[in-house]
Structure 1
């Protein structure tokens, strides 16, 4: 498959999801043990990759124990080390600061199994082996859940004499190209991740957003009133104009700030303002009039980062709980009252009007 994917976006998503899952677990636990690790997420591949990463670090630490002063090749020493590893493997216990980076990498690597299986095979099967043997390659299958039969089928094609990494990797690349139809689709994996934190295929794959026609647009004219049943295929610049000129609900701030806003909110945007908004408009902005079913599933990952950092001072858990509460209201007024009074009182949003208004527009769209 080897789709071209947005690595930066996936890294951000992996970091955010790892942070969210750790917030939930470590809110009630001081540490994480082995049984909890095995079923930490409902996505088996993520759990397996965490375990594999943990074992890799464990073997690195064991290698660091070796010194030039002792005979580590002596049979009694080897046996003692093996017993030690067996005992300690049953006593896994991690604090959040040690576990969260492992989880973040496991989430990212789970996407790579589908997006870049060749790189996955190289890292998970070849790179960690001092010596490549068929038993060692087969042993690594224990930590693969996605496309396990595909990886296993390739290993079965190798002969015991295949020891060259570059040769094996080139053969695997040909094998994957010949078995494209057997690969699990990305949509199947996204369905699993969306139960934890929303992400779309467009966000994962490196698909450039449509370029706004701002730089070839004619001189601006008065924006006509939107028809009753507005079509969704609209150039982003038109939506930017419509958002800038449309009245928006205002949260409850100090009276002097409301007065200032009343003096500026109805000013018609300049042509440069429209160009600037059109150039930065997201796909969500291009459909800003469409009703949404829930806030949780409709806020894009970029907008989510913006809300968390700007409105909630980087507090992931508070953001998550706030959105969950907003989705449970039955009408827009109650939801907005909760957001602008109960939530706003905890933060200084006096200079965050733009982000507050974006959230209020989303609330209006949910209850439209």
Structure 2
């Protein structure tokens, strides 16, 4: 059984630590290169996951080079591409804006090896495999440091004919449950990260309680406004008059001048009416995960999460754990929207917000 963990806190911790480490490095460097990358943190697993994620993005870029006008299967072309990739791999050079997201994900994924080994196996070993073979599975072991014996031992149990993803994943779940005693404890990971940025096991496991007891994340202080409900989203306010809003906590009226700088929430509200009109149903849904259609899921993955299905899965899982629409929508508009730069994705974001409304209607 995989451990429960506070996904929101883990995400915040990963973001804070990656920001802290980048502040230290980029205070004296404009870029980071390959040799610096290999030993960037004292935690080997984090460095390995940075490299693996970098290689994944690299392969995606190489795939984009393909053209219908040339024979990319020709042996000479394949050899030239291989040589090109080998040269390029020795010329790694990144600025902070490109490197920091890789570091944040690597920190998060390092905790997941202990907290959710099945999810780790699915992403790191099965996600990018066009064809599953034992050599390809074994190749991925070089990016594993924590609990490497667990992953190696399982792969050694597979036959060369094991090609089905679902079968392999179900086998790994059984194997993990049967080898609980050999897994690295969470305390060991926490002790590795503590010198970099203090964290406790209790903070990581903070949501391992009943859904009713889970506290909703506190809204950021710097941005009080949220995406308007349906009935407010359809109202038009004259631009020439100042708008007054009553703060529910302080009961004080606050004037919002007409020339105020638009927030992300303002941008999303602009197309709210149109996107809501596109909704085919107002029926209540029990969960986002089970109610999003295949086509909609692919649309969200490609448009909102840059093709990363694991990030999509984790976000939807988090949203399903909220207890009210206000907190869930605030997480979308104040956290995810800034993290993934959704300024020009209003249509897709509003579809997601509408699904949240249906869940809590």
* Normalised TM-score (structure 1): 0.56
> Within 5 A, what are the aligned runs for 1:1-368?
2-205=2-205, 206-207=207-208
Once residues 29 and 84 of structure 2 are traced to their aligned partners in structure 1, the CA distance between those partners, rounded to angstroms, is 27
Structure 1 residue 199 displacement after superposition: 0.5
SS at 1:103 equivalent: helix
Once residues 149 and 4 of structure 1 are traced to their aligned partners in structure 2, the CA distance between those partners, rounded to angstroms, is 23
Once residues 134 and 128 of structure 2 are traced to their aligned partners in structure 1, the CA distance between those partners, rounded to angstroms, is 14
Number of equivalences = 213
Structure 1 residue 2 displacement after superposition: 1.4
SS at 1:41 equivalent: coil
Structure 1 residue 116 displacement after superposition: 0.2
Once residues 45 and 190 of structure 2 are traced to their aligned partners in structure 1, the CA distance between those partners, rounded to angstroms, is 13
SS at 1:160 equivalent: coil
Once residues 137 and 207 of structure 1 are traced to their aligned partners in structure 2, the CA distance between those partners, rounded to angstroms, is 32
SS at 1:124 equivalent: helix
After superposition, give the CA deviation of every residue in 1:286-305 in whole Å (9 maximum; x if it has no partner): xxxxxxxxxxxxxxxxxxxx
Once residues 60 and 115 of structure 1 are traced to their aligned partners in structure 2, the CA distance between those partners, rounded to angstroms, is 28
After superposition, give the CA deviation of every residue in 1:179-201 in whole Å (9 maximum; x if it has no partner): 00000000001000001000001
SS at 1:8 equivalent: helix
Q: 1 or 2, which has the higher helix percentage?
A: 1
Once residues 7 and 184 of structure 2 are traced to their aligned partners in structure 1, the CA distance between those partners, rounded to angstroms, is 20
Once residues 106 and 151 of structure 2 are traced to their aligned partners in structure 1, the CA distance between those partners, rounded to angstroms, is 18
Once residues 73 and 148 of structure 1 are traced to their aligned partners in structure 2, the CA distance between those partners, rounded to angstroms, is 35
After superposition, give the CA deviation of every residue in 1:138-197 in whole Å (9 maximum; x if it has no partner): 000000000001100000000000000000000000000000000000000100000100
Once residues 95 and 109 of structure 1 are traced to their aligned partners in structure 2, the CA distance between those partners, rounded to angstroms, is 22
Once residues 3 and 178 of structure 2 are traced to their aligned partners in structure 1, the CA distance between those partners, rounded to angstroms, is 16
Once residues 187 and 200 of structure 1 are traced to their aligned partners in structure 2, the CA distance between those partners, rounded to angstroms, is 8
SS at 1:59 equivalent: helix
Structure 1 residue 120 displacement after superposition: 0.3
Once residues 128 and 63 of structure 1 are traced to their aligned partners in structure 2, the CA distance between those partners, rounded to angstroms, is 13
SS at 2:126 equivalent: helix
CA RMSD of aligned residues (A): 1.8
More displaced, 198-207 or 88-97?
198-207
Once residues 79 and 123 of structure 1 are traced to their aligned partners in structure 2, the CA distance between those partners, rounded to angstroms, is 29
* Normalised TM-score (structure 2): 0.58
Instruction: Please list every run of 5 or more consecutive structure 1 residues that lacks an aligned counterpart in the other structure.
Output: 213-368
SS at 1:14 equivalent: helix
Once residues 134 and 63 of structure 1 are traced to their aligned partners in structure 2, the CA distance between those partners, rounded to angstroms, is 23
Once residues 130 and 66 of structure 2 are traced to their aligned partners in structure 1, the CA distance between those partners, rounded to angstroms, is 16
Once residues 202 and 209 of structure 2 are traced to their aligned partners in structure 1, the CA distance between those partners, rounded to angstroms, is 9
| Match of residue 242 from structure 2 | none
SS at 2:53 equivalent: helix
Once residues 207 and 79 of structure 1 are traced to their aligned partners in structure 2, the CA distance between those partners, rounded to angstroms, is 51
Once residues 116 and 94 of structure 1 are traced to their aligned partners in structure 2, the CA distance between those partners, rounded to angstroms, is 30
Once residues 161 and 204 of structure 1 are traced to their aligned partners in structure 2, the CA distance between those partners, rounded to angstroms, is 39
SS at 2:28 equivalent: coil
Structure 1 residue 208 displacement after superposition: 5.0
After superposition, give the CA deviation of every residue in 1:54-103 in whole Å (9 maximum; x if it has no partner): 00000000000001010000111001000000000000000000000000
